Amino acid sequence: MTFDVAQVRRQFPILSEIIDDRPIHYLDNGASAQTPLAVIDAVRTYETTGRANVLRGVHRLAERATESYENARVAVASFLGVQPMEIVFTGGCTAAINLVAYSYGQLLKPGDRILLSELEHHSNIVPWQLLRQRSGIELDMLPVTTDGQIDLEALPKLLTPRTKLLSLAHVSNVTGALLDVRRVVEAAKTVGAKVMLDGAQRAPHGPVDLKTLGIDFYVFAGHKAYGPNGVGVLWARPELLDAMPPFMGGGSMIGRVTLAETTWAPAPRRFEAGTPPIGPAIGLGMACDWMTALDWTTAHDHEMGLVQRVLDGLQKIDGTQILGPASLQNRYPVVSFMLDGVHPHDVAQTLDSFGVAVRAGHHCAQPLMDRFDLDGTTRVSIAPYNDNTDIDALLAGVTHAAKTLR
Amino acid sequence: MNDQLYQEKIVALAKSKTGAGKLAAPTKTARRDNPLCGDRVIVDVTLDGQGRIAEIGHQVRGCLLCQASAAALASVAVGKDAAGIAQYRHEAERAIGREAGKAHDPFDAFEPVASHKSRHECVLLPFEALKDALA
């Protein structure tokens, strides 16, 4: 069965926009994906027919809002193959990592170690550096191979009895490299360490079976997974959520408050202080349903076919270099490249004049740029609604930049 | 096409590399990074006895606009003190539309950047570095 990209494109209203007489070739999905009509409608339905706060009121609008919000939790849980009460809605992926760093971090002792990698997004580095300042834990870094993958050969050397957590990108936001999760989990188990995956770049490419992966924490962002801004997801094993102290205090997360002391609500409420991002969570629930309904066998083949078209096309342009796996093996549809003699921002600006949206720069991964002594890269990130016309416009723009800017 | 922004004068300035490189014995050096895009400018100056620039060298690790701006600045900086450089900053601000009035050569090259707000800092980063060097 072939993938009907035209049918998918029709579900995304923004893709038919014309700006300055040019269609949009949106290849910046790794920064923020576009959102389908089903998600827009779900948020609109909440705002126009069920807007109220959740978990408090007894009136019928509050009941509607609460039901929609909790149904969204069920949809996200189904997308990840876990139970709804193991899902915590946060303000985003960064907020979810900070939650774990603060809350799970309180369970760690000075001298305990956390293992990251050189290719992590800043949001999977800085929260742990802040924890190190607060509580005296130590950080270790897995190196990166020349083709932009986390070098798991270094695992035995860097894992110690004091290693309590490995927190790694499921898919690199720069190189597109897919982590060998099984190998990481097996190694972590030998020292009793937990494993957290930053799923920001993996979740937008179909359901994830967390129970099979055998990990302990998973986080991802709503806006990169065809949902609204302002919402993210933390999943953790229930026994970990039960053991973790609150991150933020406020309404909804309490058992009982007196002036002397407060007891905490069970998870996930314990970690959802205050009014949650109700509309965005409902939208994200619909985005998860939308992704679950897509045939990802053909969608993934379609995406990787476009990656091959990018790799083949870039190879024909003099002076291009790929930062990431050269083949389609162990990678997802994120492709970073350099064009000799042209700064990535100038490549991206040129591409914009061709109607092509990409990201250029350090991609919030400055340690990875340092590793390769790069100013930055130009990054192409692909979603199921992209097609050959997007890639051909990209290649025409890169060719033009090569001709005119060096 | 990209010709609207990358006009001949900007590209020529960048390619001129005027003032590019390190000075052997700078009086002062300053480095500025743009945390959003990662562009980096290092400016070396030697000063005469009155705080005027005798020599200038810059190392730009950034985009074509940043390179062009550093070259334009280096082409006019010798003999100027901090107040004189501040006047050139106004020229650049006028070129990118942040201040009213017409910019003059060589800074009028940056007029096409006015409508690209996200690129304004690329033009101004060398000015920030030089300001720090002269502080």
Which residue out of A364, A380, A382, A383 is catalytically annotated? A364
Q: How far is B119 from chain A (nearest CA, A)?
A: 9
In a domain, A24, yes or no: no
- Pair A253, A138 in one domain: yes
> Which of A269, A293, A317 represents a domain boundary (last residue)?
A293
pLDDT tens digits for range A247-259: 999 999 999 999 9
CB contact under 8 A, B11 and A404: yes
Q: Are residues A260 and A338 in the same domain?
A: no
Give yes or no: residues A96 and A210 share one domain: yes
Same domain? A68 vs A153: yes
Task: Count CB atoms within 10 A of the CB of residue A22.
Answer: 14
Asked whether the CA dihedral A57, A61, A64, A66 is positive or negative, the reply is negative
**Which of A21, A336, A345 to mutate against chain B (most B CBs within 10 Å)?**
A345
Which of B1, B2, B62 lies closest to A375 in CB terms?
B62
| Strand, helix or coil for residue A39 | helix
Give CA–CA dist A28/B110, Å, rounded: 27
- Which positions 43-82 of A are in contact with B (Cβ < 8 Å)? none
Active site residue A93: no
Whole domain around residue A152: which residue ranges?
Answer: 39-293
Asked whether the beta carbons of B125 and B63 are under 8 A apart, the reply is: no
Nearest 10 degrees: Cα torsion A121, A300, A220, A177: -20
pLDDT by residue (tens digit) across B69-124? Answer: 999 999 999 999 999 999 999 999 999 999 999 999 999 999 999 999 999 999 99
Angle between helix B8-16 and helix B64-77 axes, rounded to 10 deg: 70
For A286-301, what is the mean pLDDT?
Answer: 98
CATH assignment of the domain containing B61: 3.90.1010.10
Q: In chain B, what residues touch A361 (CB-CB under 8 Å)?
A: 36-38
Contact A405 B64 (CB under 8 A): yes
Is residue A405 predicted with pLDDT exceeding 90? yes
From residue A307, how far is each of A113, A136, A326, A392, B62 by CA, in Å? 37, 43, 10, 12, 28
Average pLDDT, chain B: 95
**Chain B residues whose C-beta sits inside 8 Å of any chain A C-beta:** 1-6, 11, 36-40, 61-65, 116, 119, 122
> Does A124 lie in the same domain as A92?
yes
Q: Above 70 in pLDDT, residue A171?
A: yes
Q: Are A253 and A229 in contact (CB under 8 A)?
A: no
Instruction: Give me B69's structure tokens.
Output: 């701006």
Question: Which chain B residue's Cα is nearest to A348?
Answer: B2
User: Do A278 and A353 have their domain in common?
Assistant: no
Q: pTM for this one?
A: 0.94
Residues A211 and A272 in one domain: yes
Total tally of structural domains belonging to chain A: 2
- Reported as a single tens digit per residue, the pLDDT across A40-71 is 999 999 999 999 999 888 899 999 999 999 99
Work out the average pLDDT over A136-158.
Answer: 98
pLDDT of residue A176: 98
Does the pLDDT at position B1 exceed 70? Answer: no
Question: Which helix (DSSP H) or strand (DSSP E) does residue A47 occupy?
Answer: helix A37-49
> What is the ipTM for the molecules in this complex?
0.86
Residue contact A405–B11, C-beta within 8 A: yes
Do A74 and A191 belong to one domain? yes
The answer to whether position A222 is within a domain reads: yes
A326 and A266, same structural domain? Answer: no
**For chain B, counts of helices (H) and of strands (E):** 4, 3
Tokens of A33: 């994906």
We report the CATH number of the domain holding residue A276 as 3.40.640.10
Q: At residue B37, does pLDDT exceed 90?
A: no
The CATH number of residue A344's host domain is: 3.90.1150.10
Q: Is residue A32 part of a domain?
A: no
**Burial level of A63, CB count in 10 A (0-12/13-18/19+)?**
middle
**Domain limit, last residue, from A258, A293, A328:** A293
Task: Say what percent of chain A tops pLDDT 70.
Answer: 100
Asked whether residue A2 is domain-assigned, the answer is: no
pLDDT at res. B3: 61
A245 and A380 co-located in one domain = no
The angle subtended at Cα A173 by Cα A102 and Cα A395, nearest 5°, is 160
User: What pLDDT is attached to residue A152?
Assistant: 98
Average pLDDT for chain A: 97
Where does a domain end: A250, A267, A293? A293
- What is the distance between the alpha carbons of residues A391 and B92, in angstroms, rounded to a whole number? 37
**Per-residue pLDDT averaged across A214-226, rounded?**
98
Q: Is A142 in the same domain as A268?
A: yes
Task: For tokens 């035209």, name the residue.
Answer: A6
Predicted local distance difference test score (pLDDT) of residue A285: 98
Query: What local confidence, expressed as pLDDT, does residue A56 receive?
Result: 81
What are the residue ranges of helices labelled H in A260-320?
Answer: 278-293, 296-315
DSSP H or E stretch at residue A42: helix A37-49
pLDDT band at A79 (very low <50, low <70, confident <90, very high): very high
B123: domain range? 2-134
Interface probe for B, chosen from A346, A371, A374 (most Cβ of B below 10 Å), is: A346
Tens of pLDDT, residues A350-384: 999 999 999 999 999 999 999 999 989 999 999 99
Residues 329-368 of A with CB under 8 A from B: 342-346, 349-350, 353-354, 360-362, 366
Q: Do residues A215 and A339 share a domain?
A: no
Q: What total number of domains does chain B contain?
A: 1
